C-alpha cells in the first residue's frame, strides 16, 4: 500500500471516530433533556393534584371556621396564583413558597378547632394533602437530579463544545425559598 492510501485511511478513521464521538455526546445530551422534561411533567402532575385538593380542604374548614375568611381567601389566592403559573421552575417555586406559607397559616387555624381536627372528611383530605406533599418532594428531587445531570453535561469538557454548537443550555433547579417555608405564620383573632 502506498503512503498516500495509508494516510487517507488514517484520516478517514480519525474522522469517523470524531463523528462518532460527536454523535454520542449529542445523543447523551438529548437523552438528558428528555429525562428533564419528563421529570418536570412529574412535578407538574403532583402540583396539579395539590391544587385540586386545596379547594376541598378550604371548603371543609369553612364549615367550622367561617370567621377565618381572610386566611381561607389567602390560601385560595395563593393556590390560584401557583396553579396559573406556567413559567420557569424558579417562578413556579416562588409561587409554591407563597402557597406553602398560606397552607401553614391554615394549619394554625385548624389547630384552634378540635372538632374540625376530628372530622373524618377533613382528616381524609389532610391525609391526601400530606401524601401529595411527599409525592411533590420526591418528584422535585427526581427533577433536580436531572437538572444536575444536564448542567454537568453542558458545563464539562468536552460535551460543553457540543452543547454550545447545538444550543443545549443549563436548566433551573426547582427550589422553594427557605425563608418562605421556614416562616412562622401569624394568626390573629
10-48 residue pLDDT tens: 999 999 999 999 999 999 999 999 999 999 999 999 999
Residue 56 and residue 180: Cα distance in Å, rounded?
24
Please check whether the domain covering 3-182 is classified as CATH 1.20.1440.20.
Answer: yes
> Does residue 186 or residue 40 have the better pLDDT?
40
The pTM is what? 0.81
Mention every residue, 6+ apart, whose C-beta is less than 8 A from residue 117. 110, 111, 123
| Averaged pLDDT for residues 63-91 | 87
53-73 residue pLDDT tens: 999 888 888 887 777 788 888
Answer yes or no: is pLDDT of 74 > 80.
yes
| Averaged pLDDT for residues 135-158 | 96
Among residues 183, 170, 185, the alpha carbon closest in space to that of 90 is found at 170
Return the C-alpha cell found at 172: 433551573
Q: How many residues does the chain have?
A: 189
Q: From residue 164, give the alpha-carbon distance in Å to each of 88, 146, 155, 158.
A: 21, 19, 9, 11
Residue 76 and residue 54: Cα distance in Å, rounded?
8
Domain ranges in the chain are: 3-182
Q: Got the DSSP string for 19-81?
A: HHHHHHHHHHHHHHHHHHHHHHHHHHHHHHHHHHHHHHHHHHHHHH-GGGHHHHHHHHHHHHH
Amino acid at each position: 500500500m502506498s503512503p498516500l492510501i495509508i494516510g487517507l485511511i488514517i484520516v478517514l478513521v480519525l474522522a469517523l471516530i470524531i463523528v462518532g464521538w460527536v454523535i454520542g455526546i449529542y445523543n447523551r445530551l438529548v437523552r438528558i433533556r428528555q429525562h428533564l422534561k419528563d421529570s418536570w411533567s412529574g412535578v407538574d402532575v403532583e402540583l396539579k393534584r395539590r391544587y385540586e385538593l386545596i379547594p376541598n380542604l378550604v371548603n371543609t374548614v369553612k364549615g367550622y371556621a367561617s370567621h377565618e375568611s381572610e386566611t381561607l381567601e389567602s390560601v385560595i389566592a395563593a393556590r390560584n396564583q401557583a396553579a396559573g403559573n406556567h413559567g420557569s421552575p424558579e417562578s413556579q417555586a416562588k409561587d409554591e413558597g407563597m402557597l406553602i406559607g398560606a397552607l401553614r397559616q391554615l394549619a394554625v387555624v385548624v389547630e384552634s378547632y378540635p372538632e374540625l381536627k376530628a372530622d373524618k372528611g377533613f382528616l381524609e383530605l389532610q391525609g391526601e394533602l400530606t401524601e401529595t406533599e411527599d409525592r411533590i418532594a420526591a418528584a422535585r428531587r427526581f427533577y433536580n437530579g436531572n437538572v444536575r445531570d444536564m448542567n454537568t453535561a453542558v458545563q464539562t469538557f468536552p460535551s460543553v463544545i457540543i452543547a454550545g454548537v447545538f444550543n443545549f443550555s443549563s436548566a433551573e433547579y426547582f427550589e422553594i425559598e427557605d425563608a418562605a417555608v421556614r416562616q412562622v405564620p401569624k394568626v390573629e383573632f
